[in-house]
Amino acid sequence: MSLAAKLVDGDHNVVRVAWDRLSPLPGGRRLFSRVLGLIAPYTGTVRAQVLDLRQDFCRTQLRDRRSVRNHLTSVHAVALANLAELTGNVALAYSLPDDARFIVAGMDIEYLKKARGTITGVASQAMPRTSERCEYPVVVEMRDPVGDLVARGTLRTLVGPKKNRG
């Protein structure tokens, strides 16, 4: 079993525990974001940082740099989709009870404006409070430095109980 699977199926909400322990420390938010990138390597390729995380809320940031740009020198559509998935997943993961897990089953994304500059992703909504099986939409809005909405992603997420380890 991989390290990521062990963390996901462990007895505690590893995202909540890690954030609550690391975020108050100097450099803790950056370290937390790097750890997420190690657990989910593809997600880590855009090097987004989690800035704020609490029950029902996550705010992330993606710096505009050459490695995330397209041929039009704007932030690439796939980088924005990656930011939407990271932001929504971390908001949901932090908010779920210890006995729950989830997987994204689909995603819709609307690209509303060319994304230039540092992009901020926000997921802010009530999240499930139980591990009962359900499909749950998680909406993420992404804004440019002046606050214009550049993209909106909706993750279609399946929530359920962790595997029985007995």
Q: What is the CATH number of the domain that holds 33?
A: 3.10.129.10
For residue 166, the model assigns a pLDDT of: 47
Q: In terms of pTM, does the model score above 0.75?
A: yes
DSSP letter, residue 164: P
Name residues whose C-beta falls within 8 Å of residue 64's C-beta, 6 or more positions apart in sequence.
75, 115, 116, 117, 118, 119
For residue 164, the model assigns a pLDDT of: 65
Q: Which domain holds residue 100?
A: 3-161
> Strands, E, within 6-88: which ranges?
49-54, 57-62
Confidence bin at 9 (pLDDT 50/70/90):
low
Contact 81, 42 (CB under 8 A): no
Range of 1-15, 34-48, 119-133 with top mean pLDDT: 119-133
Report the number of distinct structural domains present in the chain: 1
Report the C-alpha gap between 166 and 105 in whole angstroms. Answer: 27
- Strand, coil or helix: what is 4? helix
Q: What is the 3-state secondary structure (H, E, C) of 137-153?
A: EEEEEEECCCCCEEEEE
- Strand, coil or helix: what is 102? strand
Give the H/E segment covering residue 22: helix 14-22
166 domain residue, yes or no: no
Report the C-alpha gap between 47 and 99 in whole angstroms. Answer: 29
pLDDT tens sequence across 104-128: 999 999 999 999 999 999 999 999 9
